[in-house]
Structure 1
């Protein structure tokens, strides 16, 4: 049995929810946090089986378990991160009258719709992942940035030689990670690479992410542009990379590009930075807290193909320069965005709720 599975409590004081079937950035956060939180709390998990081997109880089982408080506590905490989970939690607390308190994590950097705002207003505590996200949630309890598992996302022994493990041509890798679709800026990346790669003869670009059926035509059009530019061997679609292998591609790449048109937080460049990737990011999400021009990489406006190409060339003109930026990026993630720091911030919110019950 997986050691992390054994950490799940039969009488949890906190239950973490992840009811969505598809693996997303939220899923990745929960996947990383739960084993660490299970060392700090009597923890339960409700939802889809995670890639780390943890099986979740069903919502019905979570409700049945929560009919009475856990040993030593006046209530259980349900930590939810999505609208349907908030709906189920409010029903459980306010209709079924279960002894639970509700914590919600908000990452959206825009005003929530009317119904989500109402759901959020009913939470007992709200964690926002950035100050900007908090500005859209009046009842934010704490700002706790996402954190990265620094043991899993770690630098290779030699960043300049790591690309040889990819099996692809070139000496260095430039990677973009995430779904292939317009809002992720996949087209911006491809067009910028078509401009930049002729000036970077040692570099190969990879796009690591799935194109869902509704975006297959979008990817096919990008492939046509790549082929027309004669770069079919130097701009490569990897498809969906298994969650357990993503860190290997970060390690292989010298530069990570994150150029979405919108992102609530955006974990991928943080994960890449933890493996000592230099960064080029668009101005969205929490990227401005990580991609510091001249220190860890460069930043560009969203939708700016020419600016992205120039930024990539500025970082990659000298591989040793890119290595230095990547080392600084690793140091910044270590100092400010570790998984341990996120778990500590969440723990303070849980502790405050439990403490309030004793007052």
Structure 2
């Protein structure tokens, strides 16, 4: 697949200049001004609106018309940039699209044009219509974690055969689609044969059945009806080369029976009007050419309607119409536009594009497919004086169909390369690692984020470190570092491998940074501080985003007694101190305070839980010895570190939590306890005085003050009712100000801002 796409890239690089000149000439000839012609090269002519944007691509008039019923639902969710390729489709969109829809000419399927378009509009969703499969646009959108949907999918037998010959390229594209809504089972089966994942496919019917009837100018309709009078009329609509001659031959045969019969001939491409008129006149027909302003008179035999956007007029004037594109390999055109206006569609044998529509119409005698041109005159004659057909019922609900691609905006494609990378270069569990483990799975529901780490739990979305070097170079990404070594890694990717990265660093430190750290921070594009104190130690402006807690995982125990029994813990009052066991965490201060306080509180037990590294083993051994010497080994219990997913239960068992740190960057443990409705006594270090309301959710004491800690613990234990009130207030405080979702949302907003600027 990679080789096939590489070949496509090489080919488009070669022919891009030719395509650009050709399209510019066509648009210039149609009167499109120069600034708008540059849109085909990806240069936007309008500013990007604020908020989410949907890129909706409908190359032709027919496709643009088919998605009109969906535009209100799309535009309620986001700003819509609708791209087409021709001046004609641009005019139709301007006339018929709802107010606020932004039209742009679609970028060529080249790297430069598509990157320019994506860089400017930064769409949150790309929706392609019918058969618009462009490898570069699909791939580059996927590289940026933009979901790609194909709606109203319709592939002719000829298109399917062509893609089968290019199956590696088609598989490359289809694997990058997030959703396909097919018009019919034939298209669905064809896409499955090309390698589309069946789980991404749904048959929803023809979008054109959702469209309102084609419009018509009431004044023009009244004038034409008055001019035509009682003359019988039939229409040949959307004809292609060769079909005008077929229609004229049938018309000649019909006029033997109906001398006043009028044929309204509406070619698919009006620019062929002069050529068609000349040939018809050479064949002896009296022709009035609408584009020339010629009047329809009594002597007119063929009215050449070589204009655009007026099929609604012609179908209203006749009871029967030949639908063109059906006597060639085109596969036919939409019969529903005629049927909606009570005009009976007649088609040649080539109907692969609308086979399901014809099957439905023929089942109620509302259309006819003929085997050859020889049967056309009889098919038309049978309907000239018949009753008008009843319009078909709508197939589906526009809002329900629109909701399917819109749902993709709620979650990034699971297989897309990341837009945000959260490196974690440390193998052992730490506060930074815990932050990554908790945040990334939550953020991944809203943005394409992956952790890059040597060892993380399987539930954390990850990208192998070795894959970082091979990420597409020009797709914008955010590198969110939390350590010096990770800042260095981001700088290497940006400057050595030329990755398009915005570098973000989170600082939790509450001390002056080293010279190296300062130099690294200076090269970051943005800085996050986890507290106001952390921000005060930085020499540049930082966004303060405080850590949060998953308040669903960390919550009060429904039955604390049952939970304690399950964890084999005693009854009475439990006081906890969790985390690393070392001097900087003040574990010795807690142990000494409990040695002094427990003799005065006979029902209380202290729990020390955590891990001591090898260098802190002697420190832990000394604490155990102090407890043993005080004869409190059964009331000051040292517990091993438990897995992250179990720690919430151990908080929920507590009556009081103590955070005795001598130094701390931020410190999540008080928040984890408070989320479980456990009050906290903490030293005034880190961000503790920003998260704990002294006297409301617990108490704050000076650091390195064992007497103050002992007194605070004693006062809390002496008043269980007040302690319970603190716990209730603590839970409320955390849910209002320190949720993990709030932290995730704030970071995602910053990520999106950086992605817009990188």
Smaller-chain TM-score bracket: over 0.9
Structure 2 distance, partners of 1:52, 1:203, is 39
- 1:18: which partner in 2? 424
CA contact (8 A) 2:657 2:673 kept: yes
**Deviations 1:17-47, CA, capped at 9 Å, x for gaps:** 1121011111111111111110111222211
Structure 1 residue 34 and structure 2 residue 433: aligned? no
Change (3 A) 1:214 1:66: farther
Q: What TM-score do the two structures reach when normalised by structure 1? A: 0.92
Match for 2:537 among 136, 139, 142? 136
Change (3 A) 1:355 1:54: closer
Deviation at 1:55, TM superposition (A): 5.9
What is the correspondence of 1:159-308 to structure 2 with a 5 Å cutoff? 159=560, 162-308=563-709
Deviation string 1:262-302 (CA, Å, 9 cap, x unpaired) is 00000011011100111000110111122222111111111
Does the 8 Å contact 1:77/1:103 carry over to 2?
Answer: yes
Provide, for residues 125-183 of structure 1, a one-character-per-residue CA deviation record: whole Å limited to 9, x for no partner: 11111111111223334110001001100111245775444423341210001111111
Structure with bigger gyration radius: 2
Matched residue, 2:379: none
Residue 241 (structure 1) shift: 1.5
Change (3 A) 1:208 1:7: farther
1:58 equivalenced with 2:459 (yes/no): no
- Post-superposition Cα deviations, 1:63-115, rounded to whole Å, max 9, x if no partner, equal 2215341xxxxx11111111101011111112222111111111101111000
- Give the C-alpha shift of residue 345 in structure 1: 1.2
Query: Which whole-Å CA distance do the structure 1 matches of 2:520 and 2:472 have between them?
Result: 20
Runs ≥4 in structure 1, deviation > 6 angstroms? none
- The answer (yes or no) to whether the contact 1:256–1:280 under 8 Å persists in 2 is yes
Give the TM-score of the pair, scaled to structure 2.
0.44
Match for residue 555 of structure 2?
A: 154
Which residue of structure 1 aligns with residue 262 of structure 2?
Answer: none
User: Which residue in 2 is equivalent to 1:89?
Assistant: 490
Higher relative contact order (CA 8 A, sep 6+): 1
- Which region of structure 1 is more displaced relative to structure 2, 168-177 or 295-304? 168-177
CA contact (8 A) 1:253 1:277 kept: yes
Greater mean alpha carbon deviation, residues 133-142 or residues 7-16: 7-16
Q: 1:189 to 1:314 in 2, by over 3 A?
A: same
Corresponding residue number in structure 1 for 2:506: 105
CA drift of 1:351 comes to 1.9
Instruction: State the Cα distance separating 1:211 from its structure 2 match.
Output: 1.2
CA separation in 1, counterparts of 2:485 and 2:715? 44
SS at match of 2:655: strand
Distance 1:320 1:164 in 2: 23
Q: Distance in 2 between matches of 1:272 and 1:55?
A: 27
Matching residue of 2:528: 127
1:253 counterpart SS class: coil
Q: Which residue of 1 aligns with 2:114?
A: none
Task: Check conservation: 2:474, 2:500, Cα contact below 8 A.
Answer: yes
